[in-house]
Amino acid sequence: MKRISWQTILIIALLLLFPVVIKSDYYRHIFIISLMWVVIGSAWNLLAGYTGQVSFGHAIFFGTGAYTAGLCVTKLGISAWWGMLLGGPVALLVGLIIGWICFRLRGPYFALATIAVGEIFRLVAIDWRTLTEGMEGILIIQTFRSKLPYYYLALALATACVFTIYLVLNSKWGYYFVAIREDQDVAEAIGISSFRYKSLSLMISSYFTGMAGAFYMNYMAFIDPHVVFSLHDISIMAILVAIIGGVGTLWGPAVGAFIMVWLQEIFRSAFFGLLPQWVSEAHVLVFGLLVIFVIRYMANGIVGDWSKIVGHWFKKKPLSYSSSGN
Amino acid sequence: MDVFIQTFVAGILIGGIYAVIGIGMTLIMGVMKIINLAHGQLMMVAMYITYVLFEQFHLDPYFALLVAMPSLFVLGALLQKYLLNPLLKVDSILPENQVLMTVGIAMVLTEIIRFIFHSDYKSVRTSYSTATFYVGGISFSIALIIAFGIAVLLTVGLFFFLLKTDVGKSVRATAQNKDAALLMGINAEWITILTYGLGSALAAAAGTLLLPIYYLFPDIGGPFTLKAFVITMLGGMGSTVGAILGGIVLGVAESLGATYISMALKDAVAMVIFLLVLIFLPGGLKTLTKI
């Protein structure tokens, strides 16, 4: 249980030191966004990678969190930081309701239902102008000019998220989740209420995604329905982050988040301006090709198939749920 | 009342085309038990093929069917053979690997098309695109009527293929029970390739039929993928008759939604129906038809 390895401590220490060493706002920004994606990717991974419920609708929770924070300002007239408190619980509530509707479906049908719900949220957010301002979006004023507070907040959020998931996976719940993923009927037969534990998994997942959304609102200071409820930029990105890093591994989404955000940034800036401008239009194409490649040749992602990539020393690591995957 | 009938008629006509999209998806779902999230994007590719044929060679969109359908058949078959089938042998945690793969395919198709044609809106304006005729105060779009007719012909042809030919029977056998089909000497892998090709070709047909009355841009695939699976869910998984009913129900619902609720919420209407069906009629309309 209490094997927090020296690698973990080293990574956290490096991340803590990072903004002290690197003064460039540009790199700090990329790291902040990466850390935010660590949260979303890990949250998605708990639901999909460990509990087996592939969601195409994490933008729902992200958007709900972001709008909760935004509405704190526009409707309640309080600071958007209250959204950091409220965003998670509100997203969790939404998650509960969605779970109640969608968990009667299994496998791919669940995935489809989440796309449908996600689209409903996006369309309603566009159309319900009196509440959400529609496509004009919500604009607030950033609290801090420096990136530093945001960086440490994102780091704290990411650490809390990964650590919570680590604790959950090492508890009884974690084993129940994996049992449901492996075979729902068998899990039911040995007395695991699949509905209850799927809901619990979704609750944790939506809570952290909502927190990430609220953080996004505070950090970027602008949201509109196409940004935060986007099927491609949020829901599918969450999936990509997790599958490229490794579905069903604790560190997979964290690795995937950094890879994806960096890739996106490298392509968006056309290799930092070294290549012609048309390269910047190709980043989604590269994502797509990467997904095809990873699914085809590294089905368990970079972390999950690490042993395949560089020999077998990785097996000593704890939490190798992935190796027994089916 | 006239408004209602008009809306209803328009809904049924567009529903006929939706049905063709839905049948393609339901075939793939029936045989391979996966949801093809690249369906709308395949349709979009076909639309661009038709568009190019129209712009470069002034080929009528309905004749372009003869090019677009075979091209997409080949494209779909290749995708299935080289990208989707090999996944069956890969050991992975998520059983939805193939579905995620179709997401990847969808992204790549969209982006390649965006690369070639850019994101501009395009349209194919034929002489009959806006032509209409009237029957008792109700206007009928000629392009829609022709499209509906071709859609019906394609559907009848597909039914003939599935019910009367040996290959069609093999497809249905594989859909019912893959292992048993294998034991009966059916080459299931070949059938999956054929089915994905057929599904893509049907999507291509629907896209081409829509083109004269619709507009075209690379991101059009996504909404149609959503529509396709709403239809499939409405009809019941893997049921061809269900897909026809689902397509028409969706067409009518969208049409009524656009007229009586709001144009912007047209797509949300489809999603709400979808969720209601999931909750109250999980088997889809199939359970009502007993076919």
How far is it, in rounded angstroms, from Cα B74 to Cα B69? Answer: 9
- Which chain B residues are Cβ-neighbours of A296 within 8 angstroms? 83, 86-87, 90, 101
Give percent above pLDDT 70 in chain A.
94
Residues 279-298, chain A: which have Cβ within 8 Å of B? Answer: 281-282, 284-285, 287-289, 291-292, 295-296
Distance from CA of B91 to the nearest CA of A (A): 6
How far is it, in rounded angstroms, from Cα A13 to Cα A17? Answer: 6
Tokens 């690249």: give the residue: B38
pLDDT of residue A326: 41
Residue A323 has pLDDT above 70, yes or no: no
Instruction: Tell me how far apart the 2 most distant CA atoms of chain B are, in Å.
Output: 62
Measure CB to CB from residue B93 to each of A123, A285, A300 and give the nearest one.
A300
Tokens of A63: 């958007």
Tell me which residue of B23, B270, B61, B263 sits closest to B152, measured CA to CA: B23
Closest CA in chain B for residue A107: B96
Could you read off the pLDDT of A9-37 as tens digits, one per residue?
888 888 888 888 888 888 899 999 999 99
CA geometry: angle A310, A312, A316, nearest 5 deg: 125
Residue B243 has pLDDT above 70, yes or no: yes
Residue B91 has pLDDT above 60, yes or no: yes
Q: pLDDT averaged over chain A?
A: 85
- Which chain B residues are Cβ-neighbours of A285 within 8 angstroms? 107-108, 111-112, 115
How far is it, in rounded angstroms, from Cα A308 to Cα A144? Answer: 45
Measure CB to CB from residue B92 to each of A54, A116, A325 and give the nearest one.
A325
Tell me which residue of A133, A113, A97 sits closest to A225, measured CA to CA: A133
Could you read off the pLDDT of A115-173 as tens digits, one per residue?
888 888 988 898 888 888 878 888 888 888 888 899 999 999 999 999 999 999 999 99
Distance from CA of A102 to the nearest CA of B (A): 8
Q: What does residue B82 show for φ and ψ, rounded to 5 degrees?
A: -100, -20
So what CATH class is B2-289?
mainly alpha
Question: Does A49 touch chain B if contact means CB atoms closer than 8 Å?
Answer: yes
How far is it, in rounded angstroms, from Cα B112 to Cα B107? Answer: 9
- Domain layout of chain A by residue ranges: 23-324
Q: Which ipTM value was assigned to this complex?
A: 0.80
Distance from CA of B161 to the nearest CA of A (A): 28
HSE-up of B108 (CA within 13 Å, CB side)?
A: 15
Closest CA in chain A for residue B280: A101
pLDDT of residue A76: 86
- Which chain A residues are Cβ-neighbours of B111 within 8 angstroms? 282, 284-285, 288
pLDDT of residue A232: 78
Comparison of pLDDT for A314 and B186, the residue scoring more:
B186
- Asked if B94 and A49 come within 8 Å (Cβ–Cβ), the reply is yes
Residue A270 class from Cβ within 10 Å (0-12 exposed, 13-18 middle, 19+ buried)?
middle
Residue A107 has pLDDT above 60, yes or no: yes
Question: Does A202 touch chain B if contact means CB atoms closer than 8 Å?
Answer: no
- Asked if A300 and B34 come within 8 Å (Cβ–Cβ), the reply is no
Q: Which long-range CB contacts under 8 A does B240-243 form with residues at least 24 apart?
A: B240/B23, B240/B26, B240/B27, B240/B30, B240/B158, B240/B159, B240/B162, B241/B286, B241/B289, B241/B291, B242/B26, B242/B284, B242/B285, B242/B286, B242/B289, B243/B19, B243/B22, B243/B23, B243/B25, B243/B26
Could you read off the pLDDT of B35-89 as tens digits, one per residue?
888 999 999 999 999 999 998 888 888 888 899 999 999 999 999 998 888 887 7
Could you read off the pLDDT of A175-195 as tens digits, one per residue?
999 999 888 899 999 999 989
Chain CA centroid to CA B68, Å: 14
A23-324: CATH architecture: Orthogonal Bundle (1.10)
- Which chain A residues are Cβ-neighbours of B97 within 8 angstroms? 295, 299
How far is it, in rounded angstroms, from Cα B174 to Cα B188? Answer: 7
Residue A319 has pLDDT above 70, yes or no: no
Stated pTM of the model: 0.83
Q: pLDDT averaged over chain B?
A: 86
- Asked if A108 and B274 come within 8 Å (Cβ–Cβ), the reply is no
- The CA-atom distances, in angstroms, between A260 and each of A12, A160, A243, B78 are 20, 21, 11, 28
- Which chain A residues are Cβ-neighbours of B112 within 8 angstroms? 285
- Which chain A residues are Cβ-neighbours of B100 within 8 angstroms? 54, 239, 243, 291, 295
- Asked if A281 and B114 come within 8 Å (Cβ–Cβ), the reply is yes
pLDDT of residue A316: 53
How far is it, in rounded angstroms, from Cα A200 to Cα A154? Answer: 24
Measure CB to CB from residue B268 to each of A49, A123, A181 and give the nearest one.
A123
Could you read off the pLDDT of B259-291 as tens digits, one per residue?
888 777 777 777 788 778 877 777 777 666 654
pLDDT of residue A1: 46
- Which chain B residues are Cβ-neighbours of A46 within 8 angstroms? none
Residue pair A179/A187 in contact by the 8 Å Cβ criterion: yes
Strand partners, A139: A222
Residue A274 has pLDDT above 50, yes or no: yes
The pLDDT confidence band at residue A317, using thresholds 50, 70 and 90, is: low
Question: Does A115 touch chain B if contact means CB atoms closer than 8 Å?
Answer: yes
Which amino acid does the sequence have at A140?
I
Residue B170 has pLDDT above 80, yes or no: yes
How far is it, in rounded angstroms, from Cα B38 to Cα B104? Answer: 8
